[in-house]
Amino acid sequence: DAKTTQPNSMESNEEEPVHLPCNHSTISGTDYIHWYRQLPSQGPEYVIHGLTSNVNNRMASLAIAEDRKSSTLILHRATLRDAAVYYCILRDRSPRYDKIIFGKGTRLHILP
């Protein structure tokens, strides 16, 4: 199963953009890149996902490298509510067993 690598923690100032990196050098051609975030004592929340092209939604943007071996989650204007653990995971688009690997993620600290 393909795995992802993320920094353990990052800091950012409130109201500034945040770029959260993720490496997935063993990604296969059928893997989608998903991002989730988790607030303390809560279940993870879906943020965004993509396959090859960059994606935008109301929460964030996802920039995917041309070789798909890395991606970056972009929060355009961080708020204190964005402080959470962010997980980058790979999910297969082919109809086979659905094993998902969540690493430790990146703990994002937002400074007021």
Partner 1 sequence: DGGITQSPKYLFRKEGQNVTLSCEQNLNHDAMYWYRQDPGQGLRLIYYSQIVNDFQKGDIAEGYSVSREKKESFPLTVTSAQKNPTAFYLCASSFLPTGSGSGRYEQYFGPGTRLTVT
3-state secondary structure of 14: coil
In the sheet with 61-64, reading across from the earlier edge strand, the strands are 18-23, 70-75, 61-64, 55-56
In the complex, the smallest distance separating the C-beta of residue 101 from partner 1, rounded to whole angstroms, is 8
Structure tokens at 1: 């199963």
DSSP helix/strand/coil, 42? coil
Nearer to partner 1, 15 or 45 (CB): 45
Minimum CB separation of residue 30 from partner 1 in Å reads: 7
Of 100, 105, 82, 84, give the one whose Cα is nearest residue 21.
105
Q: Which is nearer to partner 1, 72 or 107 (CB)?
A: 107
Nearer to partner 1, 13 or 57 (CB): 57
> Within its chain, how far is the Cα of 91 from the centroid?
12
Site for partner 1 in 77-106 (CB under 8 A): 87, 91-105
Shortest spacing between CB 20 and partner 1, in angstroms: 15
* Positions that interact with partner 1 (CB under 8 A): 30-32, 34, 36, 41-46, 49, 51, 87, 91-105
